[in-house]
Amino acid sequence: MTASNPAVVVFGSLHYDIIVKGPARPRKGETVTGSAWNPACGGKGGNQAVSAAKAGVRSAMIGAVGDDDFGHTLLDNLAANAVELDQVRVIDGAASGMSVAIFDAEGDYGAVIVSGSNLQLGQSDVAQAEHLFRAGNILVLQNEVPDAANVLAASAMKNAGGRVVLNAAPARDLSPELSGLIDVLVVNAVEAEALAGGGEVETLEDAITTAQVLAQSFPVAVVTAGGEGVAFAEQGGDKGTIPAIKVKLVSTHGAGDEFIGVLAAQMLQGESVTTALSAANQAAALLVSSQR
């Protein structure tokens, strides 16, 4: 595809994941016996770029990996999934990002990430990718790279007339500079609670209430509530909920990233917030029930 085609541009993390399956996640000081493990290519950024590409749109990744086996595998995975990777920097002497995710028997998980090369994203990466910051494109950000780097990328896209989606995961405080550049904020229940400063988000009613609070600060706020569904609110405009699609849970791993990638792809194609969220909700349900 040529550079003139609209694109979902993902600025963010690439991790080599090690997936461990056990009967339960260990408590402090506890050792449990697992049943299997496997490697996988991930990082929220990498997952979201692959998801957007699979949804049928042009997808470009801006990221950084080390010159190591993990990094080369991550690059191969992006290429195999038709993600443009010209702007993924390979850093000599740096270790690629990685994570360990431990799944329990119900398919839920906890993870530890080691950011590695992802922490070196910054001004040079934004400057080198100048051609990707343009009107008509959508920039996707996450919280697995430094806030300052996200501000640089978001500023470049907004100055060019494009739109910015922030998946504020994992939860952390957002700088005022970044908050002011976001068009669509997407958070899960835990992240929504942290940013809204309110009570727990356990139901769709809680989610839409929290989305309305967040929409006071962001043009569109989306709150995903796991097995309950998703809620959204537009600043001074529409609001609504989309119930979860009931499926047999295999694994929740990557569901949020699948949601973001499809959401961004739908937005790029000009779909409304409601239509885009419905498609993203369906894609995430398919993933957690099949782990295709």
Please write the tens of the pLDDT for every residue from 222-262: 999 877 899 999 998 899 999 887 766 666 666 889 999 99
**Positive or negative, the Cα torsion across 60, 62, 65, 70?**
negative
Binning pLDDT at 50, 70 and 90, where does residue 109 land?
confident
Closest CA to 109 of 22, 224, 229, 13: 22
What is the pLDDT, as a whole number, of residue 173?
A: 93
Tell me: pLDDT of 277 over 80.
Answer: yes
Tell me: pLDDT of 2 over 70.
Answer: no
Contact 118, 144 (CB under 8 A): yes
What is the pLDDT, as a whole number, of residue 1?
A: 43
Binning pLDDT at 50, 70 and 90, where does residue 111 land?
confident
What is the pLDDT, as a whole number, of residue 255?
A: 84
Which tokens is 253 given?
């791993």
As a whole-number percent, the residues of the chain with pLDDT over 90 amount to 83
What is the pLDDT, as a whole number, of residue 84?
A: 98
| Cis peptide bond N-terminal to 26, omega within 30 | no
Tell me: pLDDT of 288 over 70.
Answer: no
Average pLDDT score over residue span 141-158: 97
Q: Domains of the chain, with CATH numbers?
A: 7-13+42-95+118-182+245-290 (3.40.1190.20)
CA atoms of 12 and 140, how far apart (whole Å): 8
The count of C-alpha atoms lying within 13 angstroms of the C-alpha of 250, restricted to the half-sphere facing its C-beta, is 11
**Catalytic residues, which ones?**
257
Tell me: pLDDT of 283 over 80.
Answer: yes
pLDDT per position as a tens digit, 112-142: 999 999 999 999 999 999 999 999 999 999 9
In angstroms, how far is CA 192 from the centroid of its own chain? 15
What is the pLDDT, as a whole number, of residue 253?
A: 65
Tell me: pLDDT of 28 over 70.
Answer: yes
What is the pLDDT, as a whole number, of residue 292?
A: 47
pLDDT per position as a tens digit, 161-197: 999 999 999 999 999 999 999 999 999 999 999 999 8
